[in-house]
């Protein structure tokens, strides 16, 4: 991933908006000319972003007004998730107006030309007449963001009540009529699905299975699934999973493939396994970039294409795929494929997974992980690396350590290097948790206020727990403890979106049950043993895979409870008995939500 110059700064065509990239030069221009910044946050997959470009931003009056009175800055949300996290006003496209120093003034999403002109004129007049007031408003928002981040601080230890409280919040948003969560629009909400699967496996409570299965059946059976080209669309407008919006996100498809695959094994649903395999094929066939060994971020929406019949589609061009690959998504895809090689009985996926992982290992060896890269190289990151990339790379390296024959030491070493980067450049040592952007960098606008996103902190903490188990180094466990502790109170701000955090806390509270399944991928005995392992009720279950010593050998499982290891077993029923004495599953105090729903 060699670094090349950033995307645009090609000559601006006559009669077009003079977009600048998010850069120090753009801010300096705004300050020198005393012009507010018009920040446009868009995405290649976003239908309404393209509509606004061909509509409002192609209007002569809009172009003249923007270029005369504002400093237009454009950001791709997938390239700069850190900017998006601070300035998005509720969707894409986002149109945010900022002071020349980056303080927020006003914002909206999609605007037609007349409304955009009216809003720009209002902002222009307000900036001319009330500049000190707008700067104070912007500074107040910055202070509030800093105070909010400051509340994420290590305190009391997380306990089982945290897991149950988040489970209740998830159940409270469950749609008992249509499946899924919330009313409309409907998103797949894979963190919630993962929590339901974890809770059903560890407690055996039937209502967790009902919520999970009804939701997965609705997602698979509704308009969200592309039955012809494969993969899942981003969301549906209708509460009953109708009116799918046709963009496909790589991260969503990787996450859905993983939870559907695991649910297929744990719930004994062969149809789930088939759909997981189809989704893996979509990721590997459509989103995989063989030239750079990476996963492209998305495939755009094209309503006319998806509205046609199979015959019509074979004669028309499929929607375009994002030309860029993303480190965090590529790492997640590598983890998915490593698991799918065993769980779907497709050992050839290991080679593709290691191809993805090895590119990241090579890049990380130099101490840098570019968030975005393509065949022309990696986009430079003047403001430093991102937590999301290093956290998911740590997880992928550990998955390689657990699943790849002969690569264990190399991937463990890569995981340790990733952990050191997290400790050195992202850790909030005094308060616990990890900043979303690295320390020691001079930043623009609201990036001055570093933040601690829960999802990435959960991923990093889970990786530290796994690394502690692999190395027995206490600093990794201590770091995980502080990170999880920092969200004991703050997780409430995320509502049901704290689902993955609940799973991480549940694992943290219980000693590790490690099961190494030794067998041949796809063999009946291996499938049976792997299924038995995945159905164990221990919350902190760690499953590793190893090839059989002989091609025709019957699969066996090696069980270690904390620091005690037992003789191998060859019968799946014996596997359950081998860990029964060490299991720490307790009765769930969680009320059966189905009783309340009737």
125 and 206 both lie in a single domain? no
281 and 206 both lie in a single domain? yes
86 and 189 both lie in a single domain? no
- Domain contains 243: yes
145 and 207 both lie in a single domain? no
In angstroms, the CA 86 to CA 79 distance is 14
Residues belonging to the chain:
598
193 and 269 both lie in a single domain? yes
Q: Per-residue DSSP letters for 209-241?
A: HHHHHHHHHHHHHSTTB-TTT-SB-SEESSTTS
191 and 94 both lie in a single domain? no
In angstroms, the CA 185 to CA 86 distance is 23
In angstroms, the CA 331 to CA 258 distance is 13
55 and 134 both lie in a single domain? yes
124 and 32 both lie in a single domain? yes
Report whether 273 contacts 261 (CB < 8 A): yes
Count: domains in the chain: 3
Domain of residue 252, CATH code:
1.50.10.20
26 and 107 both lie in a single domain? yes
Q: Residue 550's pLDDT is what?
A: 87
Cα-to-chain-centroid distance, residue 143: 27
Q: Residue 5's pLDDT is what?
A: 36
230 and 290 both lie in a single domain? yes
- Domain contains 3: no
Range of the domain at 196: 184-297+304-323
Report whether 568 contacts 554 (CB < 8 A): no
Closest to 469 (Cα-Cα) out of 395, 562, 584: 562
- Domain contains 522: yes
Q: Residue 585's pLDDT is what?
A: 39
What is residue 345's three-state secondary structure? coil
Q: Residue 209's pLDDT is what?
A: 98
- Domain contains 163: no
- Domain contains 420: no
- Beta bridge partner(s), residue 41: 75, 94
Q: Residue 311's pLDDT is what?
A: 37
In angstroms, the CA 95 to CA 117 distance is 12
- Domain contains 188: yes
Could you tell me the CA-to-CA distances from 312 to 232, 242, 304, 457 in Å, in that order? 20, 22, 10, 45
Closest to 411 (Cα-Cα) out of 372, 456, 457, 353: 353
145 and 265 both lie in a single domain? no
In angstroms, the CA 595 to CA 432 distance is 40
- Domain contains 396: no
Which letter does DSSP use for residue 286 in this model?
Answer: I
Cα-to-chain-centroid distance, residue 401: 21
Q: Which of 98, 131, 150 is the last residue of a domain?
A: 150
Q: Residue 309's pLDDT is what?
A: 59
Torsion angle defined by CA atoms of residues 243, 247, 251 and 252, in that order, rounded to the nearest 10 degrees:
10
Q: Which residue bears the tokens 């996290």?
A: 85
315 and 209 both lie in a single domain? yes
- Domain contains 25: yes
Q: Which of 150, 165, 195 is the last residue of a domain?
A: 150
Q: Supply the Cα-derived Rg of the chain in whole angstroms.
A: 25
Q: Residue 406's pLDDT is what?
A: 77
Kindly state the helix (H) or strand (E) to which residue 475 belongs, with its residue range.
helix 474-485
Domain of residue 97, CATH code:
3.40.30.10
pTM: 0.93
Residues 364, 353, 342: CA angle, nearest 5 degrees: 135
Q: How would you write the pLDDT of the chain (598 residues) with one tens digit per residue?
A: 644 433 433 444 557 999 999 999 999 999 999 999 999 999 999 999 999 999 999 999 999 999 999 999 999 999 999 999 999 999 999 999 999 999 999 999 999 999 999 999 999 999 999 999 999 999 999 999 999 999 999 989 999 999 999 999 999 999 999 999 999 999 999 999 999 999 999 999 999 999 999 999 999 999 999 999 999 999 999 999 999 999 999 999 999 999 999 999 999 999 999 999 999 999 999 999 999 999 999 999 877 788 765 535 766 788 999 999 999 999 999 999 999 999 999 999 999 999 999 999 999 999 999 999 999 999 988 889 999 999 999 999 999 999 988 778 999 999 999 999 999 999 999 999 999 999 877 899 999 999 999 999 999 999 999 999 999 999 999 999 999 999 999 999 999 999 999 999 999 999 999 999 999 999 999 999 999 999 999 999 999 999 988 888 999 999 998 778 888 999 999 999 888 864 443 444 455 544 544 3
Q: Show the tokens assigned to 480.
A: 């995980």
Q: What is the pLDDT of residues 489-529, one digit of tens each?
A: 999 999 999 999 999 999 999 999 999 999 999 999 999 99
In angstroms, the CA 596 to CA 207 distance is 11
Residues 595, 597, 598: CA angle, nearest 5 degrees: 65
In angstroms, the CA 142 to CA 406 distance is 49
């Amino acid at each position: 991933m060699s670094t090349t110059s950033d995307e645009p700064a090609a000559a601006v065509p006559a009669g077009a908006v003079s977009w600048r990239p998010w850069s120090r030069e753009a801010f300096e221009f705004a300050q020198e000319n005393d012009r507010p910044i018009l920040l446009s946050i868009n995405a290649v997959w976003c239908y309404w972003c393209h509509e606004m470009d061909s509509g409002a931003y192609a209007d002569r009056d809009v172009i003249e007004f923007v270029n005369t009175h504002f400093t237009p800055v454009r950001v791709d949300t997938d390239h700069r998730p850190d900017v998006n996290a601070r300035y998005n006003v509720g969707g894409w496209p986002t149109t945010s107006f900022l002071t020349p120093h980056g303080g927020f003034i006003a914002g909206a999403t999609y605007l037609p030309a007349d409304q955009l002109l009216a809003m720009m004129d209002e902002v222009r007049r307000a900036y001319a007449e009330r500049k000190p007031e707008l700067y104070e408003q912007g500074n107040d928002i910055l202070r509030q963001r800093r105070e909010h981040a400051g509340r994420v601080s290590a305190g009391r230890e997380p306990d089982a009540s945290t897991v149950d409280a988040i489970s209740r919040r998830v159940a409270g948003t469950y749609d008992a009529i249509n499946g899924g969560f919330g009313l409309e629009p409907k998103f797949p909400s894979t963190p919630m699905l993962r929590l339901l699967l974890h809770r059903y496996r560890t407690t055996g409570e039937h209502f967790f299975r009902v919520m999970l299965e009804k939701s997965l059946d609705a997602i698979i059976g509704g308009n969200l699934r592309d039955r012809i080209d494969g993969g899942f669309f981003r969301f549906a407008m209708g509460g009953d999973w109708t009116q799918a919006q046709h963009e496909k996100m790589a991260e969503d498809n990787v996450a859905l493939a993983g939870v559907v695959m695991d649910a297929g094994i744990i719930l004994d649903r062969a149809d789930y396994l088939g759909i997981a395999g189809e989704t893996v094929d979509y990721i590997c066939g459509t989103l995989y970039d063989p030239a750079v060994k990476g996963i492209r971020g998305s495939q755009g929406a094209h309503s006319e294409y998806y509205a046609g019949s199979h015959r019509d589609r074979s004669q028309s061009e499929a929607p375009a795929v994002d030309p860029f690959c993303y480190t965090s998504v590529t790492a997640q895809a590598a983890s998915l494929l490593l698991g799918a090689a065993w769980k779907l009985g497709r050992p050839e996926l290991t080679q593709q997974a290691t191809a993805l992982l090895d590119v990241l290992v090579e890049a990380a060896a130099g101490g840098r992980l570019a968030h975005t890269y393509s065949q022309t190289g990696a986009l430079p990151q003047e403001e430093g690396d991102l937590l999301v990339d290093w956290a998911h790379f740590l997880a992928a390296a550990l998955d390689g350590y657990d699943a790849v024959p002969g690569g264990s030491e190399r991937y463990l070493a890569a995981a340790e290097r990733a952990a050191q980067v997290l400790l050195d450049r992202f850790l909030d040592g005094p308060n616990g948790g990890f900043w979303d952007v690295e320390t020691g960098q001079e930043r623009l606008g609201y990036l001055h206020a570093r933040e601690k996103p829960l999802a990435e902190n959960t991923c990093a903490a889970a990786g530290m727990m796994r690394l502690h188990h692999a190395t027995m180094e206490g600093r990794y466990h201590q770091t995980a403890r502080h990170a999880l502790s920092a969200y004991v109170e703050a997780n409430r701000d995320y509502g049901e979106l704290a689902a993955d955090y609940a799973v991480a806390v549940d694992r943290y509270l219980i000693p590790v049950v490690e099961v190494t399944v030794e067998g041949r991928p796809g063999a009946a005995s291996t499938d049976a043993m792997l299924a038995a392992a995945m159905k164990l009720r221990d919350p902190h279950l760690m499953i590793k895979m190893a090839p059989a010593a002989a091609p025709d050998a019957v699969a066996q499982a090696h069980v270690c409870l904390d620091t005690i290891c037992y003789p191998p077993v060859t019968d799946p029923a014996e596997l359950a008995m081998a860990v029964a004495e060490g299991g720490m599953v307790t009765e769930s105090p969680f009320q059966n939500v189905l009783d309340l729903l009737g």
